[in-house]
């Protein structure tokens, strides 16, 4: 099963183009105004916080492109719908 999300705040500085949840990940493509050519600005810093305060950092890689004075990023977050057993 795949779930697609839509933005609630259209005025946000981060504009989400797509957000697709699969059983083992959440794929997001979003843009920021301006050009950021140094990928270290984003590497190991992108995260999503869920309603319980759990933080999920983007996976080991992401794609970055610049179009029309916007930086477009596509990445996966390791959010799973499977229950993880407590150890």
Q: Give domain status of residue 87, yes or no.
A: no
23-27, 49-53, 79-83: which has the highest mean pLDDT? 23-27
Parent domain of 10: 3-77
Positive or negative: CA dihedral 47, 68, 63, 45: negative
CA distance linking residue 75 with residue 19, whole number of Å: 10
pTM of the model: 0.78
**Bridge partner list, 5:** none
Q: Give domain status of residue 63, yes or no.
A: yes
Domains of the chain: total:
1
CA distance linking residue 3 with residue 55, whole number of Å: 20
pLDDT of residue 35: 93
pLDDT of residue 69: 94
35-53 pLDDT per residue, tens = 998 888 888 889 888 778 8
Separate counts of helices (H) and strands (E) for the chain = 0, 7
1-24 pLDDT per residue, tens = 666 666 777 788 888 888 888 888
């Amino acid at each position: 099963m795949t779930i697609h999300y839509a933005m609630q705040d259209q005025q946000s500085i981060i504009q989400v183009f797509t957000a697709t949840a699969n059983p083992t990940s959440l794929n997001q493509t979003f843009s920021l105004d301006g050009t950021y050519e140094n990928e270290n600005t984003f590497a190991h810093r992108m995260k999503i916080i869920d309603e319980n305060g759990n933080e999920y950092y983007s996976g080991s890689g992401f794609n970055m492109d610049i179009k029309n004075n916007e930086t477009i990023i596509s990445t996966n977050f390791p959010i799973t719908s499977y229950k993880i057993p407590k150890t």
